[in-house]
Amino acid sequence: MVSSGKESRIYWGKSFNNENLAVKIYLTTSSEFRKGMIKYLAGDPRFKEIPKSTRKLISMWARKEFKNLKLMYNVGVKVPKPISQHENVLIMEFIGDDGMRAPLLKEVELGLNEYEDIFYKVINDVRKIYKYAGLVHGDLSEYNIMVFKGSPYIIDVSQSVKVAHPNSYDLLLRDISNIVNFFRGLGLKTLDIHEVVEYVINGEYEDVGEF
């Protein structure tokens, strides 16, 4: 087992082509988790009916993460490549080497220039997610970004919502606040949080670099 949380467990596996896979199994059936899921499903035009069955709800949650990953991956965002989903099981690309997951952004120790590069890559990916995938991550922080071979990978996208969701702006503002505050805590000078939000929504696209 690679990692375990209250909501799911992730295992390392191999495909028939010997590719490294991450197998994510949603386990939680608590009423608290159910309430947490519903607030991200309600208002999403892709999921008009919320199942009363907890098993069906968790299956929908796994399917939501799979769809979100596909939307992000298809527009060039650094996320694990989605492979397959069935009921409460999601299979995706494994980010790491030989069963050892890549570290989270919170766990790495880098130079300021490296942190600066990662910051701009993350913000530009947030913008791709917003403008081209039509989504907002909804829970982005240093705990939901992996760093692998010098690149940040955004993970845990089950709660991501469509831009049309009534709470999408507030969720985007929270995502940007988390990221900006984290990098400012490392000594990086950044634009104001609202300026970064404005860039994500309306700015011209840049691969990497100051905006």
Which active-site residues does the annotation give? 139, 156
Order across the sheet with 82-86: list the strands: 3-4, 8-14, 20-26, 89-93, 82-86
Q: Let me know if 2 is exposed, middle or buried by CB neighbors in 10 A (0-12, 13-18, 19+).
A: middle
> What's the rounded Cα separation, in Å, for the pair 30 and 121?
36
The C-alpha angle 95, 96, 97, rounded to 5 degrees, equals 140
Radius of gyration (C-alpha) of the chain in whole angstroms: 17
